[in-house]
C-alpha cells in the first residue's frame, strides 16, 4: 500500500509540477517578447517532457538505467500511438503547421540514431553531448522557421499562449517565477518518489525494470502531453495537439537521453532486450506517422483508432513478456513483420482527406 501511495504521489507531483512550470515559463516568455508560436513549439512542447527528464535523470543516478531508457522509449511510443490516436478520435486533426513536415523526419532520424549510439550497450558522455548539441541546433532552427509560419497558425498559438497588456505586470512576473521554481521542486520530488515506487513494484511483481519503465513510468510521465494535446483537439487547436506530441518526442531523445548521458557518471546502460524489440517499435511508430503527414495533412478518425489499437497490442506484448507466455514469439512476429507495413500501405493508398473541421 505504501508503494502504491508513493507511486501515486510521484505521478501527482510530476503532472502538477509540469503544468505550473509550463504555465509560468510560457507566460514569462511571452511577456519578454517571445512569440506565442515559438513558446508553443519550444517551452510548452519541451516543458511537458520535463517529467521524463526528471525521472530518467533520477533513475540513471540511482542505478536504474532500464527505467531511464524505458521511460523515453515508452513515452515516445505512447505519445504517437495513444495521444495522437486519442486526439484524432476526438476530432480529425487537420494539420496546417508547415514545420511538422520537417519535424517528423527529424523525429524519425533521431529515433534511428539513438539505438545506433546504444549498440555498444551504453549511451556515454560523448553520445549525450552529441544529442544535446543537436537539440540546440534544432531549437535555433525552430525559432528561425517559425517566422515563415502561416498567419492562421500564428493566430492559433497566440490565442492559446498570448498574454494581454493587462497581464504584463511586475506582480504577474513574480508569480510566473514562483510557478517555475515551484514546478521544478515538485518535479524533483515527484521523480524520486515515482522511481522508488516503480522499482519496488518491479521487485514485488518479479518483472524487469525495463517493462515498468516502458509502461507505468512512461504513461505516468506522459500525462502532461495527454492533457495538452487532447484538450487542444477538443478546442479545435489541431496544430498545437500535433506539434506538442512531435516536439515532445524530439525533446525526449535529444534532451532527456542527452542530458542523462552527460550527467550520469557511467552513462546510461542500454539492454539487449530494448535493442531487440522496443527500439525497433519506437522507430516503426515514428515511421508510421510519416505518410499521414504527407497525404492530405489530416490524421483521420480511423487512423486514430488504428493507432490506439496498436498501442494496446504493444501493451499486450509487454504483458506476455513479463509473464513469460509462450504466445510471445508469435505476437512479436505480428507486430514487427505484419502490422506496420500494412498500415503504411493502407495510409498511402487509401488516405482521403476529410473536409476541414471548423475551429471551435
- The pLDDT score that the predictor gives to residue 288 is 79
Distance in angstroms (rounded) separating the CA atoms of residues 330 and 341: 17
Say which residues have a Cβ less than 8 Å from residue 58's Cβ, sequence separation at least 6.
188, 191, 192, 195
Confidence (pLDDT) at 130: 96
pLDDT of residue 302: 84
DSSP 8-state class, residue 122: E
The residue among 359 and 183 whose pLDDT is bigger is 183
22-26, 96-100, 125-129, 263-267: least confident range: 96-100
CB atoms within 10 A of CB 352: 8
**Across all residues in the chain, what is the average pLDDT?**
82
- Phi then psi dihedrals of residue 96, to 5 deg: -105, -20
Q: What is the distance between the alpha carbons of residues 94 and 28, in angstroms, rounded to a whole number?
A: 29
Global pTM reads 0.85
The span from the CA of 18 to the CA of 288, in Å, is 28
pLDDT band at 354 (very low <50, low <70, confident <90, very high): very low
CATH class held by domain 2-350 = mainly alpha
Residues 6+ apart with CB under 8 A from 111: 76, 249, 253, 282, 283, 286
Cα separation, 39 vs 172, in Å, equals: 18
Spatial distance between the Cα atoms of 261 and 26, rounded to a whole number of angstroms: 27
Give 149-207 pLDDT, tens digit per residue.
Answer: 888 888 888 888 877 766 667 678 888 889 889 988 988 888 888 888 888 887 787 77
Q: Is residue 213 classed exposed, middle or buried when 0-12, 13-18 and 19+ CB atoms within 10 A define those classes?
A: buried
Contacts with 33 (C-beta within 8 Å, 6 or more apart), sequence order: none
Please state, as a whole number, how many other Cβ atoms lie within 10 Å of the Cβ of residue 273.
15
Comparing CA positions, the residue from 222, 276, 279, 227 lying closest to residue 251 is 222
Asked whether 152 and 96 are in contact (CB, 8 A), the reply is yes
Tens digits of residue pLDDT in 94-149 = 777 777 778 888 999 999 999 999 999 999 999 999 999 999 999 998 888 888 88
Distance CA 188, CA 185 (A): 5
Beta strands in the chain (DSSP E): 93-94, 122-123, 268-269, 298-299
Query: Where exactly are the structural domains of the chain?
Result: 2-350
What would the DSSP string read from start to end of 46-96? HHTTHHHHHHHHHHHHTT-HHHHHHHHHHHHHHIIIIIIHHHHHHS-EE--
Amino acid at each position: 500500500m505504501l508503494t502504491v501511495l508513493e507511486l501515486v504521489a510521484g505521478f501527482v507531483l510530476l503532472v502538477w509540477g509540469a503544468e505550473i512550470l509550463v504555465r509560468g515559463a510560457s507566460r514569462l516568455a511571452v511577456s519578454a517578447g517571445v512569440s506565442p508560436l515559438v513558446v508553443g513549439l519550444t517551452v510548452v512542447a519541451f516543458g511537458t517532457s520535463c517529467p521524463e527528464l526528471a525521472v530518467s535523470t533520477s533513475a540513471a543516478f540511482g542505478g536504474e538505467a532500464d527505467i531511464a531508457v524505458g521511460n523515453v522509449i515508452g513515452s515516445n511510443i505512447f505519445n504517437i500511438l495513444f495521444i495522437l490516436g486519442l486526439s484524432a478520435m476526438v476530432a480529425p486533426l487537420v494539420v496546417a503547421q508547415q514545420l511538422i513536415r520537417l519535424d517528423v523526419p527529424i523525429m524519425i532520424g533521431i529515433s534511428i540514431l539513438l539505438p545506433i549510439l546504444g549498440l555498444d550497450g551504453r549511451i556515454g558522455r560523448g553520445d549525450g553531448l552529441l544529442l544535446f548539441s543537436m537539440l540546440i541546433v534544432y531549437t535555433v532552427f525552430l525559432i528561425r522557421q517559425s517566422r515563415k509560419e502561416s498567419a492562421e497558425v500564428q493566430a492559433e498559438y497566440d490565442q492559446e499562449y498570448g498574454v494581454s497588456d493587462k497581464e504584463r505586470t511586475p506582480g504577474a512576473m513574480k508569480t510566473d517565477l514562483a510557478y517555475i521554481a515551484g514546478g521544478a521542486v515538485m518535479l524533483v520530488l515527484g521523480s524520486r518518489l515515482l522511481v522508488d515506487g516503480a522499482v519496488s513494484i518491479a521487485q514485488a511483481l518479479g518483472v524487469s525494470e525495463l517493462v515498468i519503465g516502458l509502461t507505468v513510468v512512461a504513461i505516468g510521465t506522459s500525462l502532461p502531453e495527454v492533457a495538452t494535446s487532447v484538450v487542444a483537439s477538443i478546442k479545435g487547436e489541431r496544430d498545437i495537439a500535433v506539434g506538442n506530441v512531435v516536439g515532445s518526442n524530439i525533446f525526449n531523445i535529444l534532451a532527456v537521453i542527452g542530458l542523462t548521458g552527460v550527467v550520469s557518471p557511467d552513462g546510461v546502460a542500454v539492454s539487449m532486450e530494448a535493442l531487440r524489440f522496443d527500439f525497433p517499435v519506437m522507430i516503426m511508430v515514428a515511421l508510421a506517422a510519416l505518410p499521414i503527414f504527407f497525404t492530405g495533412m489530416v490524421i483521420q478518425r480511423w487512423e486514430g483508432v488504428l493507432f490506439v489499437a496498436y498501442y494496446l497490442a504493444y501493451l499486450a506484448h509487454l504483458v506476455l513478456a513479463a509473464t513469460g507466455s509462450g504466445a510471445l514469439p508469435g505476437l512479436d512476429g505480428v507486430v514487427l513483420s505484419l502490422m506496420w507495413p500494412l498500415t503504411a500501405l493502407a495510409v498511402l493508398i487509401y488516405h482521403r482527406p476529410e473536409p476541414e473541421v471548423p475551429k471551435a
